[in-house]
């Protein structure tokens, strides 16, 4: 896929990146299943702190936890190799299918919300960085800091209560979306407010981050070189945008762990059966297997997504191809 550098230095960097991603996945599995299973007794967690000792032993035997750890490790590895994450003993359903069902509702609001926040953040950051300390910069940075300081709890609760309940600007009923026979516009209407609130939560820190990225990039001498050749300011900024592509993609990659979980508060307040809602259910019912499955699956998706974004960054920015990470 690379155009082929002399000496093919460029080929080894993506390969190394893939290998290190695989190592990371293995480590995640070790940390989540190995350490958690060694330290915590799922039966005791499921029964809570007030359980009688005999009851815990009985549950351990019923779940097969009293067998030697080597047997259980073997089962685990075989299961993972065939994408089987075990069964949620509390919900009596395979973990993988529970997680699979939860993705559509989460992405329905989180993906548009993230796209909106990222474009607003990049646009706002660029506008603020063009004149550091100017009126636009101060106004945007002030708004971003205020938004960032307002806990997502406050933004989501107040937004949901006022915009939807009190003023009726957005439709409320209708979740769950999955399996319901509804038109596309109904879906858009239902996901609109969660997506807007998601964007509101994310745009504050993003704008500040992109501002600092562009402050650095706009100080680069190559832009003055372009200007001195009489190139229009709009095109100069397009060059700056491409020059800053690596930190922008890195920021989006850093956002992926949030994207795949969605927002716990939005899921809870809007009663959305998303990944966040599933995690809350796992917490409430003491479902350790579901929690472990969520951690591993979401981590693998995150790592895969970050790998793709890294490769995309290398495709856009030739400086990243030769030297690996900048």
Partner 1 sequence: MKRGHSGQPERSGSVGAGQRLGVAGRLSAGVLAAFVVIALGASLGLWGADYHGFVADPYAPPGAGLWLGADALGRDLGARVLQGAQVSLAVGLGGALLTLATGGVLGALAGFRGGLVDRLLVALTDAVAAIPPLIALLGGALILGPGVASVIVIIGLSQWTGLFRSVRAEARRLAGADFVRAAEAMGATSLHQLRVHLLPHLAPLLLTSAVLYFVHAIKVEALLAFFGQSSQELPSWGGLLAECGSELARGIWWPVLGASLPLALLVLAAQVVADRLSDAS
**Binding status of residue 299 toward partner 1 by CB under 8 A:** yes
Alpha-carbon dihedral sign for residues 103, 106, 108, 111 = negative
Rounded distance, CA 83 to CA 300, Å?
Answer: 12
Least Å from the CB of residue 226 to partner 1: 27
**Binding status of residue 45 toward partner 1 by CB under 8 A:** yes
CB nearer to partner 1: give 150 or 245.
150
Least Å from the CB of residue 165 to partner 1: 3
Kindly tell me which residue out of 8, 82, 149, 228 binds partner 1, with binding defined by CB under 8 A: 149
Kindly tell me which residue out of 11, 17, 32, 111 binds partner 1, with binding defined by CB under 8 A: 32
Kindly tell me which residue out of 102, 195, 246, 294 binds partner 1, with binding defined by CB under 8 A: 294
Kindly tell me which residue out of 18, 31, 61, 73 binds partner 1, with binding defined by CB under 8 A: 31
Residues in 108-147 that interact with partner 1 by CB under 8 A: 145-146
CB nearer to partner 1: give 295 or 315.
295
**Binding status of residue 307 toward partner 1 by CB under 8 A:** no
Residues in 246-265 that interact with partner 1 by CB under 8 A: 257-258, 260-261, 264-265
Task: Choose among 253, 272, 247: nearest CA to 262.
Answer: 272
CA angle 5, 7, 11 (to 5 degrees): 60
**Binding status of residue 27 toward partner 1 by CB under 8 A:** yes
Kindly tell me which residue out of 6, 70, 166, 183 binds partner 1, with binding defined by CB under 8 A: 166
CB nearer to partner 1: give 199 or 266.
266
CB nearer to partner 1: give 93 or 154.
154
**Binding status of residue 282 toward partner 1 by CB under 8 A:** yes
**Binding status of residue 76 toward partner 1 by CB under 8 A:** no
**Binding status of residue 73 toward partner 1 by CB under 8 A:** no
Task: Give the number of other CB atoms < 10 A from CB of residue 200.
Answer: 19
**Binding status of residue 49 toward partner 1 by CB under 8 A:** yes
Q: What is the 3-state secondary structure (H, E, C) of the chain?
A: CCCCCHHHHHHHHHHHHHHHHHHHHHHHHHHHHHHHHHHCCHHHHHHCCCCCHHHHHHHHHHCCCCCCHHHHHHHHHHHHHCCCCCEECCCCEEHHHHHHHHHHHHHHHHHHHHHHHHHHHHHHHHHHHHCCCCHHHHHHHHHHHHHHHCCHHHHHHHHHHHHHHHCCCCCCECECCCCCCCCHHHHHHHHHHHHHHHHHHHHHHHHHHHHHHHHHHHCCHHHHHHHHCCCCHHHHHHHHHHHCHHHHHHHHHHHHHHHHHCCHHHHHHHCCCCHHHHHHHHHHHCCHHHHHHHHHHHHHHHHHHHHHHHHHHHHHCHHHHHHCCC
**Binding status of residue 24 toward partner 1 by CB under 8 A:** yes
CB nearer to partner 1: give 244 or 298.
298
**Residues at the interface with partner 1 (CB under 8 A):** 20, 23-25, 27-28, 30-32, 36, 39-40, 45, 49, 145-146, 148-154, 157-158, 161-162, 165-166, 257-258, 260-261, 264-265, 268-269, 276, 279-280, 282-283, 286-288, 291-292, 294-295, 298-299, 302-303, 306
């Amino acid at each position: 896929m690379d155009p082929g550098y002399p000496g093919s230095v460029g080929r080894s960097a993506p390969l190394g990146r893939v290998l290190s991603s695989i190592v990371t996945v293995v480590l995640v599995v070790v940390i989540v299943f190995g350490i958690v299973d060694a330290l915590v007794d799922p039966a005791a967690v499921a029964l809570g702190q007030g359980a009688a000792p005999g009851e815990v032993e009985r549950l351990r035997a019923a779940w097969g936890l009293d067998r030697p750890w080597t047997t259980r490790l073997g089962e685990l590895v075989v299961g993972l190799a065939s994408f089987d994450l075990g069964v949620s003993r509390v919900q009596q359903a395979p973990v993988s299918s529970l997680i699979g069902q939860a993705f559509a509702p989460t992405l329905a609001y989180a993906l548009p919300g993230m796209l909106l926040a990222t474009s607003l953040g990049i646009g706002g950051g660029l506008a603020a960085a063009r004149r550091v300390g100017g009126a636009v910069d101060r106004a945007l940075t002030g708004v971003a800091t205020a938004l960032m300081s307002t806990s997502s709890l406050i933004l989501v609760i107040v937004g949901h209560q006022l915009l939807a309940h009190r003023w009726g600007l957005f439709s409320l009923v209708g979740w769950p979306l999955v399996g319901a026979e509804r038109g596309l516009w109904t879906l858009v209407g239902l996901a609109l407010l969660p997506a807007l609130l998601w964007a509101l939560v994310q745009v504050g820190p993003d704008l500040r981050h992109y501002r600092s990225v562009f402050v650095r990039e706009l100080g680069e001498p190559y832009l003055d070189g372009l200007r001195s050749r009489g190139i229009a300011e709009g095109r100069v900024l397009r060059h700056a945008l491409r020059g800053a592509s690596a930190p922008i993609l890195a920021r989006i990659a850093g956002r992926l762990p949030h994207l795949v979980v969605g927002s716990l508060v939005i899921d809870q307040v809007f009663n959305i059966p998303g990944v966040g809602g599933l995690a809350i259910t796992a917490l409430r019912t003491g479902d350790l297997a579901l929690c472990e499955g969520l951690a591993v699956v979401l981590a693998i998706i995150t790592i895969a997504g970050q790998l793709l974004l890294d490769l995309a960054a290398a495709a856009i920015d030739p400086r990243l191809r030769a030297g690996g990470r900048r």
